[in-house]
Structure 1
Amino acid sequence: MTKFFLLLSAAAIAAPAHSQTSPDSDAPEVVVTATRAAQPLSEIGQAVTVIDRAEIERRQTTVLSDLLATTPGVTVTRNGTVGALTSVRIRGAEADQTLVVIDGVRVNDPSSTGGGFNFGNLLSSSVERIEVLRGPNSVPWGSQAIGGVVNIITAAPTEGVQARANAEYGYADSVFASAGVSGKSGPVSGSLTGGYLRTDGISSATSGTERDGYRQYGATGRVGVEFAPGIGLDLRGYFADSRVAIDGFPAPDYVFADTPEYSKTREAYGYAGLHANLADGRFNNRVAFTIADINRDNYDPSFGNDPSFIGRGRSERYEYQGDFRPLDQVRVVAGVEREDSRFNDGFTFADTGITSVYGQLIVKPLDVLTITGGVRNDDHDDFGSHTTFGANAALALRTGTTVRASYGEGFKAPTLYQLFSDYGNRDLDPETARNFDIGVEQAFLGNRARVGVTYFNRRTRNQIDFRDCSPSELTTPGSICANRPFGVYDNVARAEADGVEFTLALRPVDALTLTANYSYIDTENRSVGDDFGNDLARRPKQTASVNADYRFAFGLSVGGTVTVVGDSFDDVGNTTRLDGYALAGVRAELPICERFAVYGRVDNLTDTRYETIAGYGNYGRAAYGGVRLRLK
C-alpha cells in the first residue's frame, strides 16, 4: 500500500482524478440490470457501478477488461497478450459465474468447459454503457449470475444524424480504429458502428521472445421502427472476428514456451423484439427472440492445417416480459423464457433446454423507500426444477444519505460439457449461492462529493469441479467414476467470500474530478480435503484504484489512473504465490477545433513487471496516440 500512495501522488501531479460516475449531476442515474427494467439507481438496493461512453473515451480505453479491472469488487486475469483468454471475477466468484449480456443477449459460451465468457475479445468500439451488478441476481437473469452481471449496451440511435470516429497508433505496432453513425427519420431509427484492432502484442509466455499478435474486426448495429406511439420493432446485431497467437507446451520438454499456435473466434449475437407500451406507459410489454453463436478454432501449424480443436456453441432464447404499474407506488415486472442451447467440440454433440418463469414486485410505501422482492423457477430438461429468491431495499433520504440492503440467490446450471462430454456427469446438481450485503452512501458539499461503503457475504454450494477417480472407484458398480480413468465432473466444491468495498467521488470544482475505490475480499475454500481453508486461486484480498482528470480553460484535459492489486495464489493448494503490483498511467486530450481532437496516453508508466497468472507475461510501459472526430 506504500507503493500505492506513492503512485497516487505521481498521478495527482500529472492530473487530478475523474470517476466512473460523476458526483455532480442533477439527472437521476437510470439502470436496467437490477430488474431488467429501467429504474432510478436511488431505488435499487443492490450494488451497481455504471460506466458511460464519456468515461470510456476519457480513459482512452481499447480493451474493456482494462476498465473493468478498476471497478470495485472486480479482478481480471489474462493469459498474456491482448486478445488472449481474459477472465473477470466479481467479489471473488469464479470467472464462469459472471453473466455477460450484450444488448439483451446472454453471450456466455455454451461450448466452453464452464460456460464462461472470454472478455479478451470485447473491445470498446461500439460500447455506449456498461452496468456492473455485484452479487447474485438470478431472479431476473437466471443461470450464471452467481458472482454478478456485466451488462454491455452498445450505441443506440439518436435524434438527428450524429457520427464519430477515432484512430490511434502505438506500442507493438498497434492500430485501433472505430467509426459510428446514428440517426432517426420519422418512425425509423438506426445506428451502425465498426471497429478494427491489430497489434504485434507481447509474448504470452514470460520465458518467450516471440510476440503473440492479435487482430479483430467487428461491427454492431441497431434498427428501430415505431408502427404507432409506444408500439414498435427492435433489431440489434453484434459481430466480431478475432485471431490471436498463443503459446503452448512444445515437445520434448512440454514446458510453457513460444509456439506457432493460434486461435480464431467468430461471435455473432442477435436480438429481434416487439414492444407495446400501453395505458400511457403503465403496461409495457416485450417479446423477443435472441441468438448467440460462437465458433472457436485452435490451430497448431506444426501438426498441419486442420484445427487441433474446435468449439461450436449456440443458444436461442424466446422471452416475454411485462412491466405493469397498477398504482404509482406499485410495480410488477414478470416474464417467461425458453432457452435452447447446444455445443459441438468435434467429438461430442449435445443440446439441452431450460424453461423459466419469474416475477418481481417493486413497492414504494414512502417516497424515499423502495422495496423489491422476486422469485424465479427454472425447469431444466436434464437436472429438473430449481427455485430462486431475492429481495432488496433502498432508502434514499433527502439528507443525501442512501442506505441499501439486499439478499440474493444465484444458481448456475451444469454446462453441456459438464453433463455430456467424456468427463460428464448427468446427475450433477446446479451450483448455488446465497449473498447478503448492506451499504450506505453519503452525498455532501452540494452533491459534489460522495462516499460509500458496502459489506457483503456470499456462500457457494455444490460447485462443480473436475476430480480424479481413485482406482477403487473405477471398478465400483454404480459409481460415477466407473470406467472413468481420466476423471469426472462432480459437485465437490464449496466456497465463501466476504468483504468490504469503499468508494469515493469528488468534484470540488467543475474542472476537476476524482474517484477512488478500495476492495477487501476474503475468499476461502470450504471444500472437504487438503485444500480446506485455503484462499481461492487468483483472488487478491486487496485491490484499489484512483482516477483523476482535470480540464483547463483552453480545452486541454489531463488525467491519471493508479491501480493496486495485492498478493494472491495461482493454485488451489496455495503453493505458488503471485506478488502484488501497482500500475500507473497518464493521459491527455487536446481539442483542435469543435469537432476534432488529438489524444495520447502512457500505460504502466513505471514499467512494472507482474503476473496475474503464473508463467504468463503482461505489458510493460506502452505509449499510444490518436485522433478523435465528432459530427453532429
Structure 2
Amino acid sequence: MSKRIVVFALMSSFSVFGKQSVTVTAEKIERSYDETTSNVQVIDLEEIEKSQTTNLADLIEKKSGLFVNSNGSYGKSTSLFLRGADSSFTLIVIDGVEYNDKSSVGGGSVLDHIDLSNVEKVEILKGSQSVLYGSDAMAGVINITTKNPKGTKEALGSVSYGSFKNKRASFSARNSGKRVDYSMGLSFQDVEGISSYNEDRVIMAEKDGYNNLTASFKATTSISTKDELSLSIRSVKAESDFDASTADKLDYVGRDAQTISSLFYKYKATKVWEPKLKVSHNKSDRLSNSFSLSRLVSKVNKVELENPFVLSKALTLLNGFEYEKTKASIGTIDNKKNFESVAGYLDAHGKFQKLSLHGGVRWTNESTYSYRVVWKIGASYPVFKKTDLKINASTGFKSPSLYQLYSNFGNTALSPTQSESFDLSITQFILSSKFELTYFNDNYDNIIDFDSVSNRYENISKADIEGFELNYFGESRSFDWKVGTTLLSAINNSTGKEGQYLPRRPRQKYNASLGWNGFEKFNSIVDFSYVGERENSDFDTIVLSSYFLVDLRFSYELGVDDKVLFKVGNLFDRKYEQVYGYGTPGINFNLTWKFNI
C-alpha cells in the first residue's frame, strides 16, 4: 500500500459524521444497523427505485469496495470483485436460497440475469461470512430480499423504452388475506443491444441482443399462533448473443434457465427459542453455442435447521445444522457428479453496556476432504457520542468446484482455498450526514488455478489484498449527496508472479451522486464515476485505460405510485472498455412509466 493512500486515509479520518434505523437480515437474525458489528451496506427500496436500474450488476457497481466487469453489457458474462477478491468468492443469496451454479468453472453465483423487479432490499455483507454461509462466501455475501408479503396491499406496473431498442415491462403485487399473505413479481426485457465485441474495432459489427423473463412468488401462512409456513419461488429464463474478445461472432448464443425455491417453517417453542427449518432447491440449466455446443446442468438440495435463542436483550445465540447434496454435469450431460456437505455452526451476539461483541465458529465436512473449521469475531463500540468503531477478524474457505475436481482438467486431490480477513471501520455522525472510513486486509492462500505445466487445476496461487473504503452521505432541505471512494492494492504473491497486480481490479475508484429536490414532485440526480487503470489479464501486458462517466436521472410524480422517470447514461459519450475487446454503451437514454394498477 503506497504512502499516499495512507496519508489520504489519515487526513480523511478527521472529517465528521445522525444514526440509521436500518434493519439488517444478512446475519440470519434481524438486528439494527447500529447493533451489527459487521461491515455492511444496505440498499433499500427507495434507493433501488431512485437508481432507475433494473438489474443487480448496475445497482451495485457504484458502491465502494465493488468492481463489476461485463463482457459487452446487457446480460453478458459479468464478473464481480468484492474488495478485489475473485468473483467466485462472493455468494449471492435470494430470499435465503444460495444463488450459485455448481456446474460453472468456479462454482460461484451467476450475476448476469438478476432482475430487480419485486426486490425490496439488497445487503452487501463484506469480509468472510463462511461461519454462517460456508463455502462460496469467503469474500462476502450479497443478500437480496424480495417484497414482504405482509406489507401494504398494492399492485404496481411499469413499462419502459430506451436506447438500443431496450423494451421492458414489469408487474408486482402483494396482498394480505385471512389465511395467506403473498407477494409476486413478473418482468420481461428485450433489447437489441450493442455489439459485445467493441464495434470500434470492426466494420458493421452485429448487434448482440438479450431477453430476460423473471418471475417470483412468496407466500406465508400461520398454521397456529405459534408457527408459520413460508414458500418462496424465483425463476429466470434468459437468452443472449455474445462475442469473443478477439472477433465479432454471428452464431455465439447462450440460453440460461435457473429456478430456486424454498419451504420455510418457523415454530415459536418458547419465549426465547424459535427454531426454523428450511428446505431449498436450486436448479440451473445453461446451454452455450460458441466453439462447440455445450450444456451444463446442476441441482442443489439443501436442508438447514436454525436454532436462535434470544436469552435476553443483551445476548443472542444461534446454532445451525446443514446438509447439502449437489448433482451436476461436468463437460458433458452424461458426466454427472455428486457432492455432499454436512456442517454445523454456532454464532453469538452480546451487548455489554455500550460494547457489542460477535463471535462464531463453523465445522464443515465435505465429500472431497475430511473437515474444515473457520471462525469470526467482531466488536463495536461508540468511542464518542457520535463516533462508532467497528472491528472484525475472520477466516474463510472456498471448496473446489465440481468442474475443478472432475472435468478433463480436474484434480481430485485439490484442497479448499483459505482466507484470513480483517477490517476496521470508523463511523462519524453529524447533523444529517454520515462519514465512514474502513480499512480492510484480506489474505488468500491455496487458491485453485489452472496450471499450464500439469494441464490441470492445482492449489498454486496466493494473493494479498488491502485497501480503504470511504463513504459520505448527507442531506439538506433541497439536496442529498453520496460519495464513495475505494483505494485498492491487490497483489499476486504466487510463486513466479510475486508482486504482480491482480487483473481487472482498479487501484482507485470514485463515485458521487448529487440529488436535488427543489420542487415538490420533481427530483433530479447527477451521478459521477471514475474507474482507474487496471491490468486486463494474467496472459497479456495490456493495461486498460481509466474512464470517467456522468449520468443524469429525473423523476416526476403524477400521483400516488404513479411517476415518470428518465435517465441519460454516459452523458458525454465516453469511449471505454471494462474488459479488453468488449464494447460498452455510448450515450443512452431510458424512459419509464411506473403506475398503480
Q: TM-score range by the shorter chain?
A: over 0.9
2:105 is equivalent to residue 119 of structure 1: no
Q: 1:466 aligns with which of 450, 457, 460?
A: 450
The letter of the residue matching 1:324 is F
TM superposition score normalised by structure 2: 0.94
Give structure 1 stretches of 5+ with no counterpart. 1-22, 250-254, 470-480, 482-486
The 2-side partners of 1:259 and 1:587 are apart by: 35
Greater CA drift, 325-334 or 354-363: 325-334
Following superposition, the deviation at residue 77 of structure 1 comes to 0.5
Q: Which residue of 2 aligns with 1:506?
A: 474
Following superposition, the deviation at residue 573 of structure 1 comes to 5.5
The letter of the residue matching 1:323 is P
Q: 1:318 aligns with which of 286, 290, 303?
A: 303
2:555 is equivalent to residue 598 of structure 1: no
Q: Which residue of 1 aligns with 2:40?
A: 48
Following superposition, the deviation at residue 237 of structure 1 comes to 0.5
The 1-side partners of 2:561 and 2:107 are apart by: 43
Q: Which residue of 2 aligns with 1:9?
A: none
Q: Which residue of 2 aligns with 1:201?
A: 193
CA 593–325 in structure 1, closer or farther in 2 if over 3 Å, else same:
closer
Q: Which residue of 2 aligns with 1:522?
A: 489
Q: 2:281 aligns with which of 282, 285, 291?
A: 291
Q: Which residue of 2 aligns with 1:256?
A: 247
Alignment check: 8 A CA contact 1:43 1:369 kept: no
The 1-side partners of 2:561 and 2:317 are apart by: 44
Q: Which residue of 1 aligns with 2:321?
A: 336
2:407 is equivalent to residue 421 of structure 1: yes
Q: Which residue of 2 aligns with 1:584?
A: 550
Q: 1:241 aligns with which of 237, 241, 258?
A: 237
Q: 1:142 aligns with which of 101, 124, 134?
A: 134
2:570 is equivalent to residue 570 of structure 1: no
Alignment check: 8 A CA contact 1:44 1:404 kept: no
Alignment check: 8 A CA contact 1:535 1:574 kept: no
Q: Which residue of 2 aligns with 1:362?
A: 349
2:457 is equivalent to residue 492 of structure 1: no
Q: Which residue of 2 aligns with 1:6?
A: none
The 2-side partners of 1:101 and 1:490 are apart by: 28
Alignment check: 8 A CA contact 1:535 1:572 kept: no
Q: Secondary structure at the match of 2:427?
A: strand
Q: Secondary structure at the match of 1:42?
A: coil
Q: Secondary structure at the match of 2:495?
A: coil
CA 291–618 in structure 1, closer or farther in 2 if over 3 Å, else same:
same
Following superposition, the deviation at residue 159 of structure 1 comes to 4.1
CA 408–574 in structure 1, closer or farther in 2 if over 3 Å, else same:
farther
2:222 is equivalent to residue 212 of structure 1: no
Following superposition, the deviation at residue 164 of structure 1 comes to 1.3
Alignment check: 8 A CA contact 2:361 2:375 kept: yes
The 2-side partners of 1:546 and 1:342 are apart by: 44
Greater CA drift, 112-121 or 196-205: 112-121
Following superposition, the deviation at residue 189 of structure 1 comes to 0.4
Following superposition, the deviation at residue 279 of structure 1 comes to 2.7
Following superposition, the deviation at residue 565 of structure 1 comes to 0.6
Matched residue count: 575
The 1-side partners of 2:535 and 2:151 are apart by: 51
The 2-side partners of 1:376 and 1:25 are apart by: 32
Following superposition, the deviation at residue 299 of structure 1 comes to 2.7
Q: Which residue of 1 aligns with 2:7?
A: none
1:200-247 residue CA offsets vs partner (Å, 9 max, x unmatched): 000000135110000011100001011122411010000000000011
Following superposition, the deviation at residue 48 of structure 1 comes to 0.4
Following superposition, the deviation at residue 539 of structure 1 comes to 0.6
The higher relative CO (CA closer than 8 Å, separation ≥ 6) is in 1
1:80-125 residue CA offsets vs partner (Å, 9 max, x unmatched): 0311011111000000111111110111110000012221111111
Alignment check: 8 A CA contact 2:555 2:566 kept: yes
Q: Which residue of 2 aligns with 1:70?
A: 62
Q: Secondary structure at the match of 1:414?
A: coil
CA 397–42 in structure 1, closer or farther in 2 if over 3 Å, else same:
farther
The 1-side partners of 2:151 and 2:439 are apart by: 42
Alignment check: 8 A CA contact 2:403 2:410 kept: yes
The 1-side partners of 2:378 and 2:559 are apart by: 48
Q: Which residue of 2 aligns with 1:4?
A: none
Greater CA drift, 200-209 or 490-499: 200-209
Alignment check: 8 A CA contact 1:99 1:150 kept: yes
The 2-side partners of 1:81 and 1:585 are apart by: 16
Q: Which residue of 2 aligns with 1:442?
A: 428
RMSD (Å), alpha carbons: 1.6
Alignment check: 8 A CA contact 2:239 2:254 kept: yes
The 2-side partners of 1:274 and 1:438 are apart by: 37
1:29-68 residue CA offsets vs partner (Å, 9 max, x unmatched): 11121x3211111122221000112111111012221121
Following superposition, the deviation at residue 325 of structure 1 comes to 1.8
TM superposition score normalised by structure 1: 0.89
